[in-house]
Amino acid sequence: MNIHQHTLHEPKLLIEIESFTKRIINDGLKRKDLPELVRLLDAFEQIYSCNHVYADYVDVFHVIAKGELQRYRKMENGNGTYDSLLKVDEGMLNEYSKLFHGYQSKAKSDLRQYRFGVSIRFKRLKQLSERLFHRYSRNLIVRVDLKYHVDKQHLVDIEMFNLHVQTLRNRMANKHKCFKNLKLNAWCLEQAPLGSYHVHLFLIYDGSASTYDCKLARWVGRVWMGEITEGLGYYWNCHTDKHADEDLEDSDTMVANTDSIQEKGSYKYLNGLGMIKREDPIGLERLKAVYSYLARMTIEKIEQGKLRMKEVNIYIKNSFKDVKFGTKTF
């Protein structure tokens, strides 16, 4: 855990750095940008770790900060600061502007590589899901988003987030409690535009042994809140359209989806969630919307959702720097 996490909101800082770097690459570095650059450099110094790998525009900032701009870092009152950069002459200012612009092709290449990885992951998840329906006649689809309380997000850095996700993955692998009868799981780790880390979790259970989708989603969410994150966590139940504090035991507005219910126009069908049978073409088609969302198939979602950094030693099935997406079948 970073010792500065109680004063710095790491995820939001990374998005600020990304936005700043993208703008400077496109518009050039001007003198009026220097105070913001110094502020971001000072803040980045507090969260930096050699155990982290940074994504596209944040990586550009990281390379420049630890390279050409490192000469401006001075110690004042026991703290490092880049304040001397404010006095740089016009010649060097133009050189640094060119330096930022020179990384434009690298940042765009990283994004293209990520988008290609998204398409590969989507195909993989599609194949695994279809294979499961070939093997089992009915499966229960569960979706839950695992988050952090708004007033506690600043306490969670990438190391703590990865620790929580690792605990979650271990429980799924061991079919612990709420993961009994689990046949396939997939997860997408993301960073919201406002900065918080979160998990989109996609679960397929044996439909002959598990039937209550909204209850399972709630159970998973409660385990995340109380046992895994020890009170830091929060969740969104995709089956009841409710956050944790509203998702109470008496809010079960639906249970397993059945063919008869699916045929009724008034039924609130939640994009392929609940019980889906092998011979149900409508349910199977809507299921695709679930895992295509998970794989982030639109450019807008790709840009918004990606993680800006990860730990070097964390397990990742696809080795892209800015997102973790994994699947597991049993």
If you ran DSSP here, which 8-state letter would residue 255 be given? -
Confirm whether pTM is higher than 0.85: no
Last residue of a domain, one of 102, 133, 161: 102
pLDDT mean over 55-69:
92
pLDDT mean over 250-256:
45
Kindly indicate the confidence band of residue 246, based on its pLDDT and cuts at 50, 70 and 90.
Answer: confident
Within this chain, do residues 165 and 33 fall inside the same structural domain, yes or no?
Answer: no
pLDDT mean over 165-188:
92
Q: Which of 81-90, 114-123, 204-213 has the lowest mean pLDDT?
A: 114-123
Indicate if the alpha-carbon torsion angle 142, 232, 51, 8 is positive or negative.
positive
User: 163 in a domain, yes or no?
Assistant: yes
Within this chain, do residues 92 and 128 fall inside the same structural domain, yes or no?
Answer: no
Q: What is the dihedral of CA 50, 56, 61, 66, to 10 degrees?
A: 30
Q: Which domain holds residue 40?
A: 10-102
> 179: alpha, beta or left, given left = phi > 0 and alpha = psi -120 to 50?
alpha
Q: Output the average pLDDT for the chain.
A: 80
Q: What's the total number of domains in the chain?
A: 2
The answer on pLDDT for 4 being more than 90 is: no
User: 164 in a domain, yes or no?
Assistant: yes
Q: Are 309 and 14 in contact (CB under 8 A)?
A: yes
Q: Which residues contact 30 (CB under 8 A, 6 or more apart)?
A: 93, 97
3-state secondary structure 273-307: CEEEECCCHHHHHHHHHHHHHHCCCCHHHHHHHCC
At 272 the pLDDT is 62
At 11 the pLDDT is 85
Kindly indicate the confidence band of residue 117, based on its pLDDT and cuts at 50, 70 and 90.
Answer: confident
